[in-house]
Amino acid sequence: MAKVQKTYTKEFKEEAVRLAQTSGKSITQVARELGISDTSIHQWRKELAQHGKDAFPGSGHQTALEEENRRLKRELERVQQERDILKKAVSIFSRESK
């Protein structure tokens, strides 16, 4: 049976690291209270230290190029659907006029 990977938001990760650093509790205790592994907090703390505000890019926070790419893909899909609807309408009306 495959193990399902849990995903956490950027805000959750930042808050978990902040709690571990400022609560006076051990990382293990904070992790247990949040229902995550202490290894996760260690990794998140390391990534936050290395990348600062650019840490945890995930799907919620992407580069401008990635955001533009997603926007264009959504627009392309919408335009293709509109085209398909128009093709069907043309075929229906051309049958009726005969």
Tens of pLDDT, residue by residue, the chain (98 residues): 666 777 888 888 889 999 988 888 888 998 899 899 889 889 989 988 887 877 777 665 566 777 889 899 999 999 999 999 999 999 988 887 66
The counts of H helices and E strands in the chain are: 4, 0
Per-residue model confidence (pLDDT) at position 65: 79
d(CA 39, CA 27): 9
Tokens of 54: 């650019």
Per-residue model confidence (pLDDT) at position 98: 62
Per-residue model confidence (pLDDT) at position 78: 96
d(CA 59, CA 22): 28
CA dihedral 51→52→53→59, nearest 10 degrees, is 40
